[in-house]
Each structure stands twice: as C-alpha cells, then as structure tokens.
Structure 1
Amino acid sequence: MQVTEENATDSRSAELLRRKEDARQGPDPAGTEKQHAKGKLTARERIELLLDEGTFHEIEPLRRHRATGFGLEAKRPYTDGVITGWGTVYGRKIFVYAHDFRIFGGALGEAHAEKIHKLMDLAAASGAALVSLNDGAGARIQEGVTALAGYGGIFRRNARNSGVIPQISVMLGPSAGGAAYSPALTDFVFMVRSTSQMFVTGPDVVQAVTGEQVTHDALGGADVHAATSGVAHFVHDDEESCLEDVRFLLSLLPANNRELPPHYPATDPADRRTPALQDLVPAGANRAYDVRDVIQELADDGEFLEVHAAWAPNIVCVLARLDGHVTGFVANQPQSLAGALDIHAAEKAARFVQMCDSFSIPIVTLVDVPGFLPGVDQEHNGIIRHGAKLLYAYCNATVPRVSVVLRKAYGGAYIVMDSRSVGADLAYAWPSNEIAVMGAEGAANVIFRREIAQSSDPDSTRARLIKEYKQELMHPYYGAERGLVDDVIDPVETREILIKSLAMLRTKNADLPMRKHGNPPL
C-alpha cells in the first residue's frame, strides 16, 4: 500500500499519543497497587489533589535517562521518575514536581535532576510558588557522581530562590541522605504520619556506627520532626488532608517577593469588638491561659493556620487574616513554660519573622513573657546565640510591625519580643500590662536586700516594698508616660485598633543599609 503524506502524519500522531499515554500510565499496574497498599497515592493522583481540576500542564513527559551499565540501559521509562509542570491553586499559578516512587523508587538521576532544575528556573523566572511532592530513595546509585551533582543543582536553586518565591516541600514517603536537605532549605515542610520519613543516615547505618537500634519512624518520622527536631512545620494523618492544607497555605502567600499576599474582602466586620478578651487573659501574672484563644478572637472569622504547632509550644506562630489582609502573629504561650523564651522558641519565632518579612506579611506580636528560661543546659547550648536570632530577625524586618503587651513583659525578653526600641512601628499595651526589668518580687529582693535583712519583720517589710515597687515602676501607664508604649488600649478594641494600625502602615517604606547581606547569629 502506498504511504501517503496524510498516512504518515496520522502514524506520527498515533505514535505521539502512544508515547504520552505510556508516560501518563507509568509502570505496570502492579507498581500502582504496591503504592496504594502502603497507603500512598501515586504522583499523578497527588498532583490532581493539589491543583485546581484540569489545570495541570506537564513538561518533559517523554524525558528518559541516558545512563548505561548496571542494568539501566534495559530500563528507560518515560518521565525518569519525576513529573514536572505547572497549574493553578484557587486560580493562582504554581509550579509542582512529584517523585514517582514506582520508577526507580523515586531515586534521582541526571535526567531526573535536570527536569527539576528546569522547573525551578521556570518558577523563579515566572515569579510563582514551587511545591515539591517528595517520595524518593535519594540519589540513584547506578548513576554515581552525576546524581550527586544533580542534588547540588537543586540545593543551589533552593538557596537562590529563598525569599524570592515561596518554596513548599511535602514529604509523602522516604527522604534520605541528600534528598533531606532540599526540604530543609525551603520555607515550609509538610509530613504525613506513618508514610513519610526524613534522615541523613538511615537506621541500618545508625546501628552499624553507633550500635543503636531504631525504627524508621522513631529516627525520622513525622512526629519526631514536628515535635523534636523542628524540621516539619505541619503534620497530617493522611495525604488528602495534607494536600488540602498546602492549598490553604498557598492561599495565604504571595506569588513572589514583589507582590503583596492575596487580599479577599472580609465578611468579619473590621470594627468588631472583642469583649471575650477581657476574661480570656487572667489578671494574675502567674495564671496560665491559651494565647491561641486570643488570636482566634482577633482573626477574621476566628480562622488561622498555626506553624510549627508541636515544636517549641511556649511560643505560637500563626498566619491569619485581619480585615481580609494576611497577617503573621507571634505570641508567647503561657500554657507552656509560662511563656518563657528558650532556645527552640527563639529559633522558631525568628524563622517565622524572617519568612513574613520575605513575603511582605505584616507582623503582630502578642507579648506575655516572664523572661528567658533559666538553666545550665540553656546557657551551655547557646541561649544567647539563639535568642539573638530572634532579635536579629525583628531588627532586620521592614514589614509593618505592631506589638501588644497583654500582661507581663520582663527583662531582655521584653526587648526581644518586638519592643519599640528594636523597631516596632506601634506598641500598645492592655491595662493589665507590667513592663519591667524583672518581676516585683525578684526586683524587691535585689534592691532592698539589706533593708529586708535588717528588718525585725522581714516578710512584712518585703511585702510592703514589693507593693511600693509595683506602684512606682510597674503600673500600666509607666511605659506610656515615657513614650515606650504608644497607647494603653481596652482589650475590647484590640481587633479594631490592629486593623486601623496595619492599614495606616500598609504604605510603609523602610530601606535597609546597602550591603551584600547581614551576618546573623546562625
């Protein structure tokens, strides 16, 4: 039969469709069944859940590796184990790549890495967020040093894109060795219990080197990284709820550092009063309460997203909206360690402040802090250096910053929690506030030590002097009289005042000195 030009075109079209269908289907059905048996979705199923329906546009679906030896030349599947492309989330463009564990265990080789490099460059050039769906066994051993170089290219782009576009890592399977470092360089890390783990050296290596026996989850599972190491910002029980929260987080972030976070018209009145706040915070300085209840009263419709909820619980960091505008809240948590700052709390808050500043998210700081946590281990492990991280982050931040002293604010911790002296644009305080170098009892014992010791009734004398110290130096208006507090406000009016203050500051312009970059106390 004569082959016409039309027949040849049809044949080429059919071949293209066949190849693309092979790429879309991936390995044989047995590989998909194994993935599902582990309680895990396939890479394409994950992308479908993340993106708005029908918006995914794949790039390089026909890419194959070109490695030889060790049996690789006989197995050259399309995509080379990673699916890359772009789509939308709530109508806004994002870029995404997903490891396909069914192909080489999601391990990274040269072609695999080059696809990710290209996608990262496109995300940076387009000014859109990048989400990685991680489920891979690390570097592809058969490809040797080229696989390691591929990771290096990813790390370099993570660092260059930091603070330029939001980078979100979603851990949906194992991530070992070099594969764990890219997530650590991104802005947010999500993990799923039971199925995702992260570690530099796995249980077998740990046992061989140290003799310790440990499971994969106990070494690097989701709860370990959420509560102990602080590597994971969010933890979920299943992939569906995890990816839904990724979508919610993306709705709170700008596409890049040149844009403001997305604003939506608020259904919650800007002048809504908050009478519940009068009772939520106890008058007694030593009584605990949940500061998240305060944030819930202030936020639009009581809705917020808490970051690092399980790690360093003595400080709370959340993203919420005030009058439809995204706002970061940093708050001491009296329910844990009485709200004192320690090493982990300082690092957690510093990281959050830097993220907000990178992406033009204003910061509200709610202060109720008795000081830094005392202890030999805190001093020896560098509370000075870690506390300085938070101080540096606030001093370096140029976004609108408003602080509110809810109750007590003592010593250096008061300064660090975005006081006026380190650059807060506006500082407010409730009538219950106590701002001082230290608590009245400790101050009286230092200042009046001799008088108390020489008294015929030390207890009575101490009580009288503590009362005098409070009346003279710790009354609610002491800071306001000296210009360190802009106003003492009624708790009922807090939400309205914050919204008006941030609206005024929205056009704030605060340039930093010309420099290559600072040298923070890392």
Structure 2
Amino acid sequence: MDTVKRDRQHVPPIGIPELEELRRSLLEGDPAATERQRAKGKLTARERIDLLLDEGSFSELEPLRRHRASGFDLERNRPHTDGVVTGWGTVHGRTVFVYAHDFRIFGGALGEAHAQKIHKIMDHALAAGAPLVSLNDGAGARIQEGVSALAGYGGIFQRNTRASGVIPQISVMLGPCAGGAAYSPALTDFVFMVRDTSQMFITGPDVVQAVTGEKISQNGLGGADVHAETSGVAHFAYDDEQTCLEEVRYLLSLLPQNNRENPPAASAEYPPGRSCEALRDLVPADGNRPYDMRAVVREIVDDGEYLEVHERWATNIICALGRLDGEVVGVVANQPQSLAGVLDIKASEKAARFIQMCDAFNIPIVTLLDVPGFLPGVDQEHGGIIRHGAKLLYAYCNATVPRISVILRKAYGGAYIVMDSQSVGADLTYAWPTNEIAVMGAEGAANVIFRRQIAASEDPEATRARLVKEYRAELMHPYYAAERGLVDDVIAPADTRGALIRGLAMLRAKHVDLPARKHGNPPQ
C-alpha cells in the first residue's frame, strides 16, 4: 500500500492550464502531418466532423485514449486518440454519432484501442437509436498489433450487421480503404466517395499485377468513378469533400433516426392538389419513343427536388428519395432513356436494395412503370437474371410500407408483375390513359397467337397489321386492367401528384402483421 502511495506522489499533477494545452495540441495535431494531409487535397478528421455536424454541436468521446501495445517501437509512440476521433453531435438539430479516422496518426490504421473506440461509439448509436456516420481515411489494420487489429475489424462488422435496418449507417470514403476494412462500408446503407482522393479495393494494384499481370492505378482499380459506375459499391461520388459532406447532411434530413420512427416531415411549398400540366407533354404517347423519366419525377415531387441513389450505376432504373406534400417517399422508376427502361441484373439489384432500405426505415414507395420486359440475352441468363430478378420481386413482396404504383405507358410480361403490381401487394395502382398492360407487346402477341393465320393469308403483312390492331383494341386498351380490378383508377397525367398525396395520406397508418419467423431467405 505504501509503495502505491509513493508512486502516486511522483505522478505530476494535471491542472486546468495543462488540460487546456493538451486539448489544444489534440485539435492542432502534428503540423508536419497536417501539411502532408493538405498536400493530398484532404481535410483533417476534425475539419471533416465540423463540416458534417451543426456548428459547435460535437462532443468528443475518449480523446485521451492511447494504445497499450509494445514492440516495434510502439511503446515510444503513443499519441492521444490513437488515430480515430469519435463522438456525437447534431445534423439539422437531430443527434448523429460519428467516427473519423485521422490519417495523420499511424496512417489512420486500426489497432486495438482504435477499434475499441469505434465499438463504443457504434454501441452508443444503436442504444440511442440515432444514425451513425463513419468518415473513412485509413490504411487498414495496424500491422504492428497483429491479430488484435484483425479482431477489431470483426467487432465492427458484427456491429454493422446488428445495426442494419435499425439505425441508418452511412460510410463516407475520404481516403484509402483496402483489404478487410472495405467490408464495413459494404455492410452499411449508403457509401459516399470523393474523386481522386478515395479508393476501395480488397487487393491493391501491386497484388493484382503480381497475381494476374494486369497493371492498373489505384483510382482505376477502386476509385470513386469505378465504384459509382461499374461496381455499384458507391451510391454517391463527388468532386470535393465539402460537397460530399453537405450531401450527407441532405441525406440525413430525409432519413428517420431509427426504424421505430418516421422520416422527418417538412412544410411543402406547393398545395397538395397542384396540377402537373407539364406531364401531358413530357411522356410521348408512342411507346417506342424514349424520354427522361427524371423530368417526370421532378414534376411530381415537392419543389422538383430529390436525391438520386446510384445515379450512374444501372441507369435503366431510377431510385430516389424526395418529398410529397412534405412527407419523404422513395421513388422507383424505369428510365426509357437507358436500355428502353428494361430490367436487367444490375437494375434488379439496385432497386431491390433501395426498396429494402425504404421498408426498413418506414419510407413509403412510389413506383413509376414504363417497362417493356426483362433484357434478353445469353449474358443475362448465364449471369443469373432469374435469381437477380427474384431479388426485386422478393423486396417488393416483403415490403410493409405504403406502396403506390403508377403505370405511365407500357408494362409487359413478368417485368410488370415484378414492378410492384397489385398482385404482389401494391396498395394502390393507378394508370395513365396511355397505359398498355399485357403479357407482351401487341406485335409479338399477334405473331404468336395468329402465326398460322398470318402465314396462310394472301397478304401476310396486311393481315398481321389488322390482327395487331384487333389484339390491341381487345386486350390492351387503357381500361382493360381497370375493368378487372387490377388498376384502381385511370387518371389524367396532370392529376398524378394529387392522387399520390391523397393515397399516401390514406395509407399513413398502414399496419401489416408478418408471419412469425427469424428472417426470410431471400435469393442471393
């Protein structure tokens, strides 16, 4: 006991001035390391947090934490924070938890203490029921700490999975992210990237070249544009960190705090019954003519504002978050301007994940249909279009939030069923007078049904044209589905916004009792 007392007496006291000096040094960091960070066009961890959170709202957790590892000269290099800044603050007045790798310390590499800080802030976010944002800029596992660092990643992955569908999780890539570290962002709801400064890959360019002989740069292998356009790993890509973090704030304004709450409502500038006269001219009556579905979405949502998710990947389908009469909605829409709006492997995956996210966070889904079918081809079939298309079907069938579909022009075959038809559970289905709902287009249907009759006629082309016209008039007229109760109403395009707002208001208290089960087994 006496020894303990003597040892304590030799510990220099830390007063208020010393504490203030310590905090000042934490905020400033190593000037040389800061300069190196700026030379790469990157902000520091604390500058990024300041851009993300409301001014003056950040409360830091464990700023004095240090690692306890020994060997490899680590015992003489024990900086405070251990290379990660963690805490909470507010975005638009609502609580958000955050952690940010500090590349200036150990290159942002994850060690035992570093991981424990992240584990703690993730646990707090889940317990408090508030979103978690990670600002990633790290060199992966800290090699000097060996398996302890790897175990730290395991703890992060396990918490990502537990929080999935409970609180929004957003990963912002602001530097390198390689190896196993890349799996944490992949487990979250949204991934943001910044061009030229952020990269994600499992094996880097040197390993790729050594194994396969392929020579490629870091950005060419896993840069923002690659993941936003080719792999689909990144939902958003921006030119600079400031714009990126501002868009993260915008996304958070459209999401609830957790799965027990609804997204925050906002006051709408336009009256609910505002007529959308422009829709009459935006969509050509000729089903073979392309148009930009984004213009339709802009006309329908409040103020013409929406946030498109995966804008540059699988461009034949649009997934976006916007508002209708101040209430947040998720919009899924075929894009006739890209591949005629067909469904393929990528589009099915993109829409399925978006629908699952909306359903998890109580966001009603509006589906705008103009779909000619699934994309035919050997590559699609061998790539598993059946399995991937089933993901979209499963997501719609499993969704319990309010769901309204609007058929603008054509809706053919299995693609019509998959795109939230009434038969798979859409609460309301509307159609424009230009709609054509059928197993296939009139020309294809006539060729199948009347093949012999056409072949035996004296004028096959004239006979085919007549039979196509008759088939369209008999089975594809705008009111055929409505007469059979498969469409709730045929509405004028200009009335679309009002019909959606009234329908969503009616469905706001929708409740669905699901079968008792641990979870489903969706197609993969």
Give the shorter-chain TM-score range: over 0.9
**Where does residue 27 of structure 2 map in the other structure?**
24
Deviation at 1:11, TM superposition (A): 4.8
- Rounded to whole Å, the distance in 1 between the matches of 2:432 and 2:456 is 38
User: Residue by residue, what CA displacement relative to the aligned partner does 1:73-114 show, whole Å, maximum 9, x if unpaired?
Assistant: 110000000000000001010000000000010000000000
Select 1:98's aligned residue among 97, 100, 105. 100
Letter in 1 for 2:183: Y
Which residue matches 1:468? 470
Hey, what does 2:17 align to over in structure 1? Answer: 14
Q: Aligned pair count? A: 514
| Contact 1:299/1:322 (8 A) holds in 2 | yes
User: Residue by residue, what CA displacement relative to the aligned partner does 1:7-56 show, whole Å, maximum 9, x if unpaired?
Assistant: x9995223322332232222x21111111111100000000000000000
Find the residue that maps to 1:287 and give its secondary structure: coil
Percent identical pairs in the alignment equals: 76
2:312 aligns with one of 299, 310, 323: 310
The 8 Å contact of residues 272 and 496 in structure 1, kept in 2 or not, is answered as: yes
1:123-202 to structure 2, matched below 5 A, reads 123-202=125-204
1:512 Cα deviation after fit? 1.2
SS in 1 for 2:519: coil
Read off the aligned partner of 2:149 and give its amino acid letter.
Answer: A
1:178 deviation in Å? 1.1
Task: Give the AA of the match of 1:117.
Answer: H
Distance 2:487 2:273 in 1: 22
* Corresponding position of 2:209: 207
The SS at the match of 1:346 is helix
In 1, distance between residues paired with 2:93 and 2:199? 32
- The answer on whether the counterparts of 1:19 and 1:62 sit within 8 Å (CA) in structure 2 is no
Runs of at least 4 residues of structure 1 off by over 2 A? 8-26
Which secondary structure does the structure 1 equivalent of 2:15 belong to?
helix
Tell me what 1:4 maps to. none
More moved, 364-373 vs 264-273 = 264-273
SS of match in other structure, 2:370? strand
Q: Secondary structure at the match of 1:252?
A: coil
Paired position in structure 2 for 1:113: 115
In 2: Cα distance, 1:79 partner to 1:9 partner: 21
Residue 134 of structure 2 aligns with an amino acid whose one-letter code is S
- Whether the 8 Å contact between 1:365 and 1:418 is mirrored in structure 2 is yes
Look up the equivalent residue of 2:224 and give its one-letter code. Answer: A
Q: Are residues 1:515 and 2:508 paired?
A: no
Matched with 1:300 is 302
Partner of 1:240: 242
Quote how far apart the aligned CAs of 1:339 are: 0.2
1:126-160 CA deviation, whole Å, 9 max, x = no partner?
00000000000100011100100000000000000
2:495 is the alignment partner of 1:493 = yes
Equivalent residue number for residue 328 of structure 1:
330
After the TM superposition, which of the residue ranges 262-271 and 252-261 deviates more from structure 2?
262-271
Equivalent runs, 1:346-385 vs 2, <5 Å: 346-385=348-387
Corresponding position of 1:272: 274
Correspondence list, 1:423-442, <5 A: 423-442=425-444
Letter in 1 for 2:98: V
Which letter maps to 1:22?
S
Structure 1 vs Structure 2 CA RMSD: 1.0
**1:262 aligned residue (258, 261, 264):** 264
Give me the TM-score of the superposition, normalised by structure 1.
0.98
In 1, Cα distance between the equivalents of 2:330 and 2:513? Answer: 21
Distance across 2 between alignment mates of 1:464 and 1:174? 63
Structure 1 position 421 matched with structure 2 position 423: yes
* Residue of structure 2 equivalent to 1:408: 410
For structure 2, the residue ranges without an aligned partner over 5 or more in a row are 1-10
Partners in 1 of 2:350 and 2:364 — Cα distance? Answer: 17
Q: Which amino acid aligns with 2:121?
A: L
Q: Deviations over 1:468-488 (max 9, x none)?
A: 000000000000000000000
SS of the residue 1:201 aligns to? coil
Equivalent-residue separation in structure 2 for 1:210 and 1:303 (angstroms)? 45
Change (3 A) 1:285 1:78: same
Unpaired stretches in structure 1, ≥5 consecutive residues: 1-7
2:397 & 2:449 partners in 1: Cα distance?
Answer: 32
Kept in 2: contact 1:22–1:78 (CA 8 A): no
Query: 1:299 Cα shift?
Result: 0.4
Query: Quick one: which amino acid aligns to residue 369 of structure 1?
Result: V
Are the equivalent residues in 2 in contact too, given 1:202–1:216 (CA < 8 A)?
Answer: yes
Give me the TM-score of the superposition, normalised by structure 2: 0.97
The C-alpha deviation readout for 1:349-375, integer Å capped at 9, x for no partner, is: 000000000000000000000000000
CA–CA distance in 2 between the matches of 1:136 and 1:364?
39
Q: Which residue of 1 aligns with 2:455?
A: 453
Q: Is the 8 A contact 1:274 1:298 kept in 2?
A: yes
2: CA distance, partners of 1:118 / 1:335: 47
2:75 is equivalent to residue 80 of structure 1: no
Q: Tell me how far apart the structure 2 counterparts of residues 23 and 159 of structure 1 sit (CA, whole Å).
A: 32
**1:475-509 superposed Cα distances (whole Å, 9 cap, x missing partner):** 00000000000000011110001000000000000
Taking a change above 3 Å as real, the CA distance of residues 173 and 289 of structure 1, as seen in their structure-2 partners, is same
Equivalent position amino acid for 2:15 in 1: R
For 1:128 and 1:204, locate their aligned partners in 2 and report how far apart those are by CA, in whole Å.
40
